[in-house]
Structure 1
Amino acid sequence: MSISGKSTLAGLVAGAVAAFGTAGVPSAHAAYFAGKTMKIVIPFGFGGTYGKYARVFADHLPAHLPGTPNIIVQEMPGAGGVKAMNFAYNVMPKDGLSLLEPIDTCVIVQLMQADKVKYDVRRFTWLGSSNQTNNVMVIRTDAPGHSVEALMKGANAIMGSTGPGSDGTIFPRLAAGLLGFSGMKVISGYKGSAASMLAIEQGEVHGAAYNWLAWSSSVPHWFSGDKPVAMPFLQAGLEPDPDLPDVPLLGRLVAAADKPLVDFVSTNGTLGRGLVVPPGAPQAVIAMLRTAYDAMNADPAFKAGLDKLKLRLVAKDGKTIQEVVDKAIDGARPEIVERANVLIYGAKG
């Protein structure tokens, strides 16, 4: 069944509202999604964890939605993920059939790159998250600067990044500014984490910064054996990743006055990999989507799908993530945002 015009949409939503909460699967719910093709937009290429999680979402979310719609995934890389964020906020249909897997740096970018951002992350509705993980800098073992100590002495390190709004730019530049990595440079423009990892393997760049799951699920062989190809040498998060207890945590290396700045930039680890609906979607549809997302996170089949791709499941509901986002935006002190802008982008916000 197709939706043609606002009156039809309103009628279906009204029916869903009236039926919501009744036993079984109300016909109004099934009618809204049945026969439809939903879309998940991802902000980077398919090869990284955004693409991998999106494909598992697309495989398993329909089973928990009435009417069992089909879901396809569309990549929209550009500007470190900001292109997809802006598109979802301003252009994406508001019917709840189009979803976005947001960049985990969306809060940081909104506060520090206001001239490039055309969204307010607080107005997206978060369905939930399925993973939280620290951002980790990895570097080739044959690079001149392959440790914090070497980089603090001025050793060179060229880091690959997808764009200015990505972890791959934000974390290296922040660490360079706070710890004095004068020889660290960032090259942007890679389509996704897979492309920059290939560049590392080919010796085009020395390293990059991504969430730890991107590294451990894509190139675990790099970190094993007598002569590992690369090594994790610095992580950003509120606590060390359980897999990396011995890798230095940025927040424990900086001066006490700079710890609030590091904590602010570390909010991305909490957001992780999840889905949002653009502002304006009907509340009844949002309720169905949130219920379905929670059910998916609790489904053993979903966990098995993630396991096949070596992905981790750390579930949080949409309300919890929404509160984290609102608190981060509303509580960001201007002086912290300004200092972060200077360190990362070389200019005041």
Structure 2
Amino acid sequence: MTHTRQFLAGAAVLAGTAGLLAAPAAADDIAEFYKGKQINAIAGGGAGGGFALAARILGRHMVNHIPGKPDWIVTAMPGAGGARSIKYIVNAAAQDGTVIGAVLPPAVLSPLLRPGVGYKSEDLQWVGSITPMPSVLSVWHTHNVNSLDDAKKREVIVATSSKLSTNYYMSMFLNKVVGTKFKVISGYQGGDRQNNAMEKGEVHARASFFNSYKSTKADWLRDRKIVHLATLGPRLDELKGATHLADIAKTPEQRKMVAFMQAGENVGHGFFVSPGVPKARVDALRKAFDATMKDQAFLGDAKKRNVTVEPVAGVELDKSIDEAMDVPQSLVDDFKTLVEMDAPKK
């Protein structure tokens, strides 16, 4: 059973025969724990966004592969580019495997950009990713901005939740590197609010994940309601008309910054649990996730809702995040300076 609501407010592995005998007992322990319980999947975006949708579809089928078959609900907790939800999961939520995070990818970088944000991405225990996915900066069709060259001549107001979001640093990177005139307005928490603001004409543009548009705004793509100006992360044929940030980087340092920025896009629809969750339960959740990715009912459901499935295992995400976090502080500092991440000193 899955529902959605908006949020307001290690043991050593035994070898040989002993290990074989221990496995059923461990599975029984996991089943006993999860039986009658409810897993809360907390999405870092809005209730109507693609991350909450992916979490609902995943949960509908993943519970059948978790010993004990718990219930599954989805809670939307937007804010601070997804950092708010991770901070809550790590510091305030249950640490027993009943809370799973549906990460908003920009939040992977937040600990480097905002020391003291409340968590370390490399300490999170990754369950798996449904798919990596690109971000795309898109403008509403009535604003008559059809390219980055147009955006150099005309101001484009971009909605964002905070400076920790892809909306912010994609726009500011473009302003500094190619001279566009993006004006970023903070305070729009969640993709659904940003989409509504574009439709109403409050803002002209936002950055989103292309897969989220495909799953929640297929009519916008069909009717060409938005024009894609720039993209970041995995390259897609569908986004050939949009400029990839790697292609406008002018210096080796800027190219390293692009690689740094797209660490979250390489995670995509990623799911994690807090560092405090016991390893046996993490392993059980990873096994259930991997089985779900091959579940024909899940694959059919995902296809029906235009959710791309190109899974990445949790252990691979662990390695990827470790590498992404291992960057020189000088690069992070130069990036923050370039995009004016910190408020100017008075």
Aligned pair count? 328
Structure 1: runs of 5 or more not aligned: 1-9, 11-16
Question: CA 1:319–1:26 in structure 2 vs 1: closer, same or farther (change >3 Å)?
Answer: closer
1:235 aligns with 2:234: no
- CA offsets 1:99-118 (integer angstroms, 9 cap, x no match): 11122112321111114x11
- Tell me which residue corresponds to 2:212: 214
8 Å CA contact 2:57, 2:302 repeated in 1: yes
Describe how 1:12-91 pairs up with structure 2 within 5 A.
21-22=23-24, 26-91=27-92
Find the aligned partners of 1:342 and 1:44 in 2 and give their Cα distance.
27
Describe how 1:1-349 pairs up with structure 2 within 5 A.
21-22=23-24, 26-115=27-116, 117-143=117-143, 145-153=145-153, 155-181=154-180, 183-224=181-222, 228-237=224-233, 239-257=234-252, 258-330=254-326, 332-347=327-342
* Residue type at the aligned position of 2:282: I
8 Å CA contact 2:133, 2:269 repeated in 1: no
8 Å CA contact 1:80, 1:166 repeated in 2: yes
SS of residue paired to 2:243: coil
8 Å CA contact 1:19, 1:26 repeated in 2: no
SS of residue paired to 1:142: helix
Displacement of 1:224? 4.0
State, as a whole percentage, how many aligned pairs show the same letter. 25
Find the aligned partners of 1:247 and 1:71 in 2 and give their Cα distance.
37
- CA offsets 1:307-332 (integer angstroms, 9 cap, x no match): 222211110000111101001112x1
Find the aligned partners of 1:283 and 1:229 in 2 and give their Cα distance.
46
SS of residue paired to 1:210: strand
- CA offsets 1:167-191 (integer angstroms, 9 cap, x no match): 222221222222221x211112223
- Greater alpha carbon shift after TM alignment, 61-70 vs 101-110: 101-110
8 Å CA contact 1:222, 1:231 repeated in 2: no
Displacement of 1:45? 1.6
Find the aligned partners of 1:316 and 1:178 in 2 and give their Cα distance.
32
Structure 2: runs of 5 or more not aligned: 1-9, 11-18
Structure 1 runs of 4+ aligned residues shifted over 3 Å read 17-23, 345-349
SS of residue paired to 2:164: coil
